[in-house]
Amino acid sequence: MNRRDWMIAAIASISLPGTEPGEAALLFADAPHLPPGLYLPSTAHLGHALTQVEQPPSRSFQPQAFSAREFELIRKVTELILGEEPHATASEEAARWVDLRVAHSGAVRDAALHLDPLNRAVAVGYYGRPLVEQVESYEPKRICAEGLAWLAQKGDFLSATTDQQIAILDSISDARTNKQEENAGTRFFTFVKSEVIRGFYTSRTGLKELDFKGNGFYASSPGCKQAPK
């Protein structure tokens, strides 16, 4: 039995509401009389839903937006934001997410700045002018370059002790006592933290940590177990 046949057998054994247990799943290839684009109910998608395999981060990763040294710094900051042990997978993945976002940010800004005036007018109508102008002026590359330069002024961040690193981050985090003071460090922290949130909490580890109960299979409509008072 090859992998595809195994998958089909596995799928057929799963009962969805409305199908008889063991009823053979209708696959699209079994409905040849329908014109292309039409389809019959199928459980075929369970195949890819059942094949969730966690792949470790590729060792051959090359950062796109940062030099090797800069990426080390980004990874360390990400580790500290997530409270992870050194070289943890979660922070490696989140750091790579930051790299991806920064690498694409220039092209995003260019595309926003070159929107046809009519399309821009719709975007303004939809989002409001401030948000559209924010996208047009947002420069993550510059924020990171200036932030890393600010870190460099504090010494060799990677060689500092954990307590020293935390002290530096404390001075620029959104929990700092003097919130009125803004500098390249605070802007850098704000940017990296927001992207770490996006990257981590959409990762497999992050969603598992949140105990996300969505994207699943329920036999009945989720409701309220205990009516609120």
Partner 1 sequence: MPVQERKTYDALIVGSGASGSWVAKELTEQGMEVLMLEAGPPRIPTRDFTEHVWPYQTKFHGFGDQTALLTDQPIQRLCYACDEFSHQFFINDTEHPYTFPLDKPFMWIRGRQVGGKTFCWARESYRYSDYEFKAASRDGHELDWPFDYKELEPYYDKVESFIGVSGSREGLPQMPDGKFLPPMNLSCGMLLAKEVIEKRFGWRLMPDRVANLTVPHNGRPACHYCNECQRGCYTASYFNSPSVTLPAAARTGRFTLLSDAIVSDVIVGSDGKATGVHYVGRETKVHGEARAKIVVLAAAALESTRILLNSTSPRFPQGIGNSSGVLGHYLMDHFTLEGAGGEIESLKGSQREPTGNPCGYLIPKYTNTEGHKNGNFLRGYRFDGDAGQQLYEHAFSLPGYGRGWRDTVRHDIPYYFSFEAQGECLPRYDNYVELDPTKKDAWGIPVLHVHASYGENEHVMAKAMRNDIGDVLDAMKVKNPVPPNQDLSVFGKNIHECGTARMGNDPKKSVLNRYNQVHGVKNVFVTDGAAFVTQGCYEPTLTIMAISARAAGHMVEASRKGEL
Number of residues in contact with partner 1 under rule CB under 8 A:
83
- Euclidean distance between CA atoms 16 and 218, whole angstroms: 9
Nearest to 91 by CA among 102, 101, 81, 103: 81
Cα distances (Å, whole numbers) of residue 142 to 64, 99, 155: 15, 13, 20
Site for partner 1 in 58-87 (CB under 8 A): 80-83
Q: How far is the CB of 108 from partner 1 (least distance, A)?
A: 5
Q: Tokens 């051959």 appear where?
A: 60
Site for partner 1 in 116-145 (CB under 8 A): 116-119, 121-126, 128
Q: Tokens 């459980």 appear where?
A: 43
Q: How far is the CB of 46 from partner 1 (least distance, A)?
A: 8
Name the CA dihedral angle for 218, 219, 220, 225, rounded to a multiple of 10 degrees.
Answer: -70
Site for partner 1 in 177-216 (CB under 8 A): 193-194, 197-199, 201-204, 206-207, 209-216
Pick the closer one to partner 1 by CB: 3 or 213. Answer: 213
Query: What's the half-sphere exposure (Cβ side, CA atoms, 13 Å) at 113?
Result: 10
Q: How far is the CB of 68 from partner 1 (least distance, A)?
A: 22
What SS3 state is found at 26? coil
Asked whether the beta carbons of 165 and 149 are under 8 A apart, the reply is: no
Cα distances (Å, whole numbers) of residue 159 to 28, 109, 137, 164: 58, 35, 34, 10
User: Of 3, 33, 59, 87, which one interacts with partner 1 (CB under 8 A)?
Assistant: 33
User: Of 34, 131, 152, 167, which one interacts with partner 1 (CB under 8 A)?
Assistant: 34
Q: How far is the CB of 49 from partner 1 (least distance, A)?
A: 4
Site for partner 1 in 40-59 (CB under 8 A): 40-46, 48-49, 52
Q: Is 115 in the site for partner 1 (CB under 8 A)?
A: yes
Q: How far is the CB of 117 from partner 1 (least distance, A)?
A: 7
